[in-house]
Amino acid sequence: AQQAEVLKNHIMESVNHELRTPMLQIKTAVSMLVEVIKEVSSFERDQTIARMATGAVTRMEELVSNISELHLVENLKPSPTMLNDAIHQAINNLRRSWSHRDDFRRVQFVPEEILPVFADRRAVSRILILLLDNALKFSPNDSPVYIFTSLENHLGHSFVRVSVKDEGIGVPKQYQERIFEPFFQVDSGTAKRYNGAGVGLALARMLARGMGSDIELKSRPKQGSTFSLLLPIADLDSDSI
């Protein structure tokens, strides 16, 4: 069993490397071609082709990135960690990937009390990156995206709920579970229009459930969505944070 695990990890690392290298080359080539098209052609057909190519590269890049993160699911190590640190890490990492887009400034973090939670910090950060990325994609460029925390008590135990709220297209009730399935899209045009690969939410839920939690969704069509993650508050006397 141990040899099989080592072999699987080796295969994942190899696949990750073999995919990332050509993807970077394709992304660079497409970016250069798009700039050339902008300069030499005013035909709408050519502009449409350029947008399609850019969108396809974005979806493939997202897919490769999420595949490379699958190893996190089997290597979760919950421990006391400061939730605000994980949130800031997610925002900073996502800011770099959205550096070419002005609308990242729509993200507004509304911090509450700074409390430690018992969770895997890398997993929490990755979940928030996926939820924020999803919110930015599926909401208008001029609307805010909020990330905020709140305290809850369940059966005598204290928890922190961290939520990502957008004012986007929303999700019909009949699809609110299915959107967590890998590669599922509400309609065939959604992926093309918003450059979604249909993997991010599935990975977010896998990571959340791996920590004994889950991703919850409240949404109505054309009224936005709120995705949230419930995490237990860690021992305040712990010196391992």
More confident residue, 25 or 165: 165
> Which of 29, 46, 68 is where one domain is finished?
68
238 part of a folded domain? no
196 shares a domain with 102 = yes
Please identify, among 14, 33, 68, the residue that sits at the C-terminal boundary of a domain: 68
Tell me 117's DSSP state.
E
pLDDT at 198 over 80: no
Q: Do 181 and 202 fall within a single domain?
A: yes
- Give residue 101's Cα distance to chain centre: 16
Is the per-residue pLDDT at 1 higher than 80?
no
CA distance 180 to 33: 35
Q: Tell me, what's the pLDDT at 6?
A: 57
3-state secondary structure of 120: coil
* pLDDT higher than 90, residue 200: no
In a domain, 186, yes or no: yes
Residues 7, 104, single domain; the answer is: no
The pTM for the full model equals: 0.74
* Mean pLDDT of all residues in 86-109: 77
Q: Are 25 and 32 within 8 A, CB to CB?
A: no
For 175-193, how does the pLDDT look when each residue is reduced to its tens digit (9 = 90+)? 999 999 887 777 655 554 5
**219-222: Cβ within 8 A, 24+ apart:** 219/170, 219/171, 219/176, 220/170, 221/169, 221/170, 221/171, 221/172, 222/169, 222/170
Q: Which of 1-15, 83-97, 123-137, 183-197 has the highest mean pLDDT?
A: 123-137
* Residue 79: per-residue pLDDT: 92
The answer, yes or no, to whether residue 100 has pLDDT greater than 60, is no
> Does position 232 have pLDDT exceeding 90, yes or no?
yes
Q: Which residue has the higher pLDDT, 62 or 31?
A: 31
Q: Are residues 30 and 106 in the same domain?
A: no
What average pLDDT does the structure give for the chain? 80
Neighbours of 99 (CB within 10 A): 9
Residue 137 maps to which CATH number? 3.30.565.10
- Compute the residue count for the chain: 241
44-66 pLDDT, tens per residue? 777 778 777 776 776 676 666 66
Give dist(CA 187, CA 138) in Å, integer: 13
Whether residue 63 is found in the same domain as residue 140: no
Q: What Cα–Cα distance (Å) separates residue 145 from each residue in 139, 151, 165?
A: 8, 20, 6
Q: Sign of torsion, CA 182 76 125 215?
A: positive
* Dihedral pair phi/psi, residue 220, rounded to 5°: -140, 140
Reported as a pLDDT band with limits 50, 70 and 90, residue 27 is confident
φ/ψ of residue 229, rounded to 5: -130, 125
- How many domains is the chain built from? 2
d(CA 66, CA 221): 27
pLDDT in tens, 139-170: 888 899 999 999 999 888 899 999 999 999 99
Whether 207 and 137 map to the same domain: the answer is yes
